Amino acid sequence: MAATLQLDVESLRTLLAALDYGGMTRAAERLNMSQSSVSWKIKRLEERVGRPLLIRDGHTLRPTRDGRALIPDARSLVEIHDRAASRLNSSELTGTVKLGSNEEVDAVQMASLLGRFKWSHPNASIEFVIDYTRNLARSIDRGQLDVAIMQVSDANLRSTDTVLWSDRLHWVSSHAMTEDRLAPVPLITFGEQCFYRSLSEPDLVAARIDHLVAFSASTTRGVRAALAAGLGVAVLGSRYLDDDIIEWPRSSELPELPLVHQIARTVPGEAPAVATALVDAIAGELLDASFADAEPIVA
């Protein structure tokens, strides 16, 4: 009787990570293992299956036909395994955590993170709200939130903050904006609550560059659409610079914009144990710009 094929969950997890994160190196970073270990696990899986599952084209990976067929079942198996393990390893942490976040973290990824935290700590409850950084900063200091994920400048960074990633701001426009010397300069902003305006507009005033708010949107997606249409100039992080969103040519007339930090901040004083555990879980997923390719939304 032929031996029954048995699929190893960790090898399936490694295969999915290599595809999801675009290669062996990023998969190794994500899984906290060496690149050679990632390669070995995938090779062992392919040997067990008896056919290749990945096509290696330089540094690019893509699934073979058999790999594509395996992916949905692999995801289900890994999810079932993790859910069962979380139940067995669930903690005794109890209490309610009030968590606020701007939408620099993709909503789908945040929901997934909170779902896993809930599985690990079934006796804990999470109240989650999305808001602007300015409002979150006030709420955390007033004790209305236990944890806030938000952006701060160097001047407002605290020693107790957990820095998730950092990014430098830039004045940006697009090739569609053909008139760089428009007066007044049309600005694209995130509205009255925009965190970036207090960091950037004083520089325009100091340089005596006339300007007006021509377009406001509450989301980065809206701001980028306005930029693509050539409606004006905006302030965005360096990660958004590409072939379409470019440095505003007149930015050389202005001081360099500051570095900003996406942080997790706990309520002043001694934070509840469940809040500390949640920050640890957030940092484990987001630290070192793990979500650099995410689609941030609110500034």
The domain spans of the chain are: 9-88, 95-165+260-286, 167-259
**Taking a C-beta distance cutoff of 8 angstroms, is the pair 26, 12 a contact?**
no
Query: Quick check: do 9-88 and 95-165+260-286 share a fold?
Result: no
Q: Does a cis peptide bond (omega within 30 degrees of 0) precede residue 249?
A: no
Q: The pTM is what? A: 0.63
pLDDT at 110: 85
Residue 289 and residue 167: Cα distance in Å, rounded? 9
User: Strand, helix or coil at 154?
Assistant: helix
Residue with tokens 């890994």: 78
Q: So what's the pLDDT on residue 1?
A: 38
Tokens of 77: 């198996």
Domain 9-88 class? mainly alpha
| pLDDT confidence of residue 120 | 81
Q: Which two three-digit tokens encode residue 113?
A: 């993170």
Contacts 24+ apart (CB under 8 A), 84-91: 86/116, 86/119, 86/120, 87/119, 87/122, 89/120, 90/119, 90/120, 90/121, 90/122, 90/123, 91/120, 91/121, 91/123, 91/277
Phi, psi dihedral angles at 144 (to 5 degrees)? -85, -15
What is the C-alpha separation between 229 and 226, in angstroms, rounded?
5
**Could you say which architecture CATH assigns to the domain 167-259?**
3-Layer(aba) Sandwich (3.40)
Q: With H, G, I as helix, E, B as strand and everything else as coil, classify residue 181.
A: coil
pLDDT band at 92 (very low <50, low <70, confident <90, very high): low
Q: Is 38 helix (H, G, I), strand (E, B) or coil?
A: helix
Tokens found for residue 201:
């507009």
Distance CA 95, CA 87 (A): 18
Residue recorded with tokens 């806030």: 148
- 1-55 pLDDT, tens per residue? 345 788 889 999 999 999 988 888 888 888 888 888 888 889 889 988 899 999 9
User: Is the predicted pLDDT of residue 175 greater than 60, yes or no?
Assistant: yes
Burial of 38 (0-12, 13-18, 19+ CB in 10 A): buried
Confidence (pLDDT) at 295:
39
Q: How far is C-alpha 268 from the geometric centre of its chain's CA atoms?
A: 25
The CATH number fitting domain 95-165+260-286, selected from 3.30.70.1090, 3.90.1300.10, 3.40.190.10, 3.40.50.20: 3.40.190.10
Q: Where are the alpha helices (DSSP H) in the chain?
A: 9-20, 24-31, 35-49, 65-88, 107-120, 133-141, 197-206, 220-228, 273-286
pLDDT at residue 172 in the model = 95
Distance of CA 181 to the CA centre of its chain: 35
Average pLDDT for the chain: 85
What is the average per-residue pLDDT within 280-294?
64
- At residue 148 the predicted structure's pLDDT band, cuts being 50, 70 and 90, is very high
